[in-house]
């Protein structure tokens, strides 16, 4: 049984197995594989077969073409181990596998149950289903042991500009949580800095010697919350505390933009995808507390933040003045 690291290493080199099987399912790995499929230009065809194997109608998935994409990725999900499929399902699978070439057609089988003792997790040689065995391609255990979390944390960190050092990544690797939550932590820590991690994750000790009133407050998130609530005076106080601590304006702008994006989506009646549920709920609560005259304010502030982001990255502007403008707008 191969590790998911092996699969993603191959995908990074644009080397796709013609057929492969995933046992179990980790939400972070699932999302990353789905994104890799789309980035590679595949037309994704997905089918949840529940407790069955493929049926005759499913065979069309391996024959479909797209007007806009010349590559097809067939993703089949099942709760039943392949060796328990009916003879007809095995024949359908055998014909679908025969069409896969690793370029124009790739096929993945995601089995929610553990591999059978008979297979032992070993890779099977391509043979006909008529002989009683199946070609399942390369087989991967699609989950990550806690001991390997650090490797994936480094990957998450690279995708966000390596904003966290080895010490901080090691701290995260010892938390008792899954990869999906760790990915959220890396993103929020990258945006909110140590002031976020100190409160949310109990990282290190807060220095309250010069500002005791902030000993139990995360200024970065208190600033964002004040913006949501329309409390400009509190937002300005929190902003000054952040700037006093030497917080870089760009990550602050990125942090608030993440929340403003959710706000703008909700104003249009759309629930944003891929965002942490607790962030969405927090924005919803803040919106309910604001008056009806504040409708569309999320979209307005998001537009303002986007303009500020361009200015900060392209011109020698006063970053503090821009953040003050956003806080009091």
Rg for the chain, CA atoms, rounded: 25
| CA–CA gap between residue 28 and residue 107 (Å, rounded) | 20
Q: Which of 261, 221, 264 is nearest to 241 (CA)?
A: 221
Instruction: Give dist(CA 29, CA 32) in Å, integer.
Output: 5
The one-character DSSP state at 17 is -
Domains of the chain and any CATH numbers: 4-141 (3.40.50.300), 148-328 (1.20.272.10)
Q: How far apart are CA 3 and CA 120, in angstroms?
A: 14
Q: State whether residue 109 is helix, strand or coil.
A: strand
Q: How many contiguous H segments (helices) and E segments (strands) does the chain have? A: 12, 5
pLDDT tens-digit series, residues 38-74:
999 999 999 999 999 999 989 888 886 555 667 899 9
In tens, the pLDDT along 294-327 reads 556 778 888 888 888 888 778 777 877 888 888 8
The pLDDT-based confidence of 186 (bands split at 50, 70, 90) is very high
Is 95 or 210 the better-scoring residue by pLDDT? 95
Q: What is the pLDDT of residue 68?
A: 61
List all residues 6 or more positions away from 50 whose beta carbon is below 8 Å from its beta carbon: 78, 79
């Amino acid at each position: 049984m191969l590790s998911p690291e092996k699969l993603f290493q191959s995908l990074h080199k644009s080397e796709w197995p013609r057929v492969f099987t995933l046992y179990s399912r980790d939400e972070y790995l699932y999302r990353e594989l789905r994104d890799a499929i789309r980035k590679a230009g595949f037309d994704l065809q997905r089918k949840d077969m529940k407790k069955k194997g493929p049926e005759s109608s499913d065979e069309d998935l391996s024959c479909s073409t797209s007007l806009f994409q010349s590559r097809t990725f067939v993703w089949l999900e099942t709760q039943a181990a392949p060796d328990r499929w009916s003879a007809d399902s095995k024949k359908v699978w055998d014909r679908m596998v025969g069409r896969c070439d690793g370029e124009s057609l790739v096929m993945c089988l995601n089995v929610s149950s553990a591999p059978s003792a008979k297979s032992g997790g070993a890779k099977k040689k391509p043979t006909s289903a008529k002989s009683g065995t199946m070609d399942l391609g390369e087989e991967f255990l699609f989950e990550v042991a806690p001991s390997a979390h650090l490797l994936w944390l480094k990957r998450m960190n690279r995708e966000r500009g390596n904003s966290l050092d080895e010490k901080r990544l090691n701290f995260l690797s010892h938390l008792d949580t899954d990869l999906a939550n760790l990915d959220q932590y890396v993103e929020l820590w990258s945006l909110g800095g140590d002031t976020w991690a100190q409160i949310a994750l109990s990282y290190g000790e807060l220095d309250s010697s010069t500002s005791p009133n902030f000993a139990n407050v995360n200024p970065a998130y208190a600033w964002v919350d004040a913006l949501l609530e329309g409390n400009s005076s509190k937002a300005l106080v929190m902003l000054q505390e952040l700037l006093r601590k030497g917080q870089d304006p760009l990550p602050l702008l990125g942090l608030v933009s993440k929340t403003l994006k959710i706000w703008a989506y909700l104003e249009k009646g759309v629930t944003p995808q891929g965002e942490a549920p607790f962030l969405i709920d927090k924005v919803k609560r803040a919106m309910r507390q604001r008056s009806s005259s504040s409708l569309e304010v999320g979209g307005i502030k998001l537009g303002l933040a986007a303009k500020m982001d361009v200015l900060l990255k392209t011109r020698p502007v006063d970053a503090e003045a821009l953040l003050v403008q956003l806080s009091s707008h």
